[in-house]
Structure 1
Amino acid sequence: MGTLGDLERGVMDVLWDADEALTAYDIKDAIDADRGRDMAATTVLTVLSRLEKKGFVAPDKSVRPHRYRAVGSRAEHQAELMHEVLGDAGDRTAVLARFVGGVSAEEAAYLRDLLARAS
């Protein structure tokens, strides 16, 4: 999937937080309210088209206006980004050590539990 630009992330945040598929106008209104500015609906539609090509959103074109939903969850996307970073790292061990060094004791315990279950 890859990384997201600022507008793409804004659209995805709205979709990830939604309980149902949304129209471009629903998304536009949510972004306008969050950012305090008026975004053109055509801009949102362009972003949705890019996100569809990237595999982030799925449209329902059987209804008018079309409705969009996130293909995966925010957590799935963030985990994929972490895997991409590790895949690009020259020294994976150093990256993992730096990451683990920055987690809280509670997060470290949770990671140990997850690793024990994965073994």
Structure 2
Amino acid sequence: MRNRETSAPLPEGGGRRRGQGELEAQVLAVLQPAPGPVTASWVQGRLAGDLAYTTVMTILSRLQVKGAVTRHREGRSFVWEATADQAGLAALRMRRVLDGESNREAVLTRFIVSLSPEDEQVLRELLRHTDDEPED
């Protein structure tokens, strides 16, 4: 049996297969309230479902590359700490897409034109607010 959303085989038990972005968001949601830097095993134990340790490590490594988490060695293992929340991760993704385009103005124009009137108003207010802030 195949998953209609991704056309990938469904996992054992027929459950829905989660996408990479969904897993990254779940890991960040676990890391945000952590009492400090934590191990991958700590993260794994607090995630819903039965994710393999290697899967958790892969997600943490991808988040590190994106700048959403940091790690440092503690003893023989690494400990991880969130540097971005879910909104920050989405902003990092948006920035990476924009940085990969040669015609940034066209991309930004198409993005703005596609916004709902409410989102466009929020963006205008945010831009107005940043224009009012003094530069360092």
TM-score bucket of the superposed structures, by smaller chain: 0.5 to 0.7
Amino acid at match of 2:41: Y
Relative to total residues, which structure has the larger helix share, 1 or 2? Answer: 1
- Overall identity of the aligned pairs, in %: 29
Q: Say if 2:25 is the partner of 1:13.
A: yes
How far, CA to CA, are the matches of 2:77 and 2:45 in structure 1? 15
- What RMSD in Å do the two structures reach over aligned CA positions? 3.3
Taking a change above 3 Å as real, the CA distance of residues 56 and 109 of structure 1, as seen in their structure-2 partners, is closer
Q: State the structure with more CA Rg.
A: 2
Q: What residue in structure 1 maps to residue 57 of structure 2?
A: 45
| More RCO (CA 8 Å, sep 6+) | 1
Unpaired runs of at least 5, structure 1:
none
Q: Say if 2:43 is the partner of 1:27.
A: yes
Q: CA deviation at 1:108?
A: 0.8
Unpaired runs of at least 5, structure 2:
1-18, 132-136
Give the paired residue count.
Answer: 108
TM-score by length of 1: 0.62
TM-score by length of 2: 0.56
How far, CA to CA, are the matches of 2:27 and 2:113 in structure 1? 33
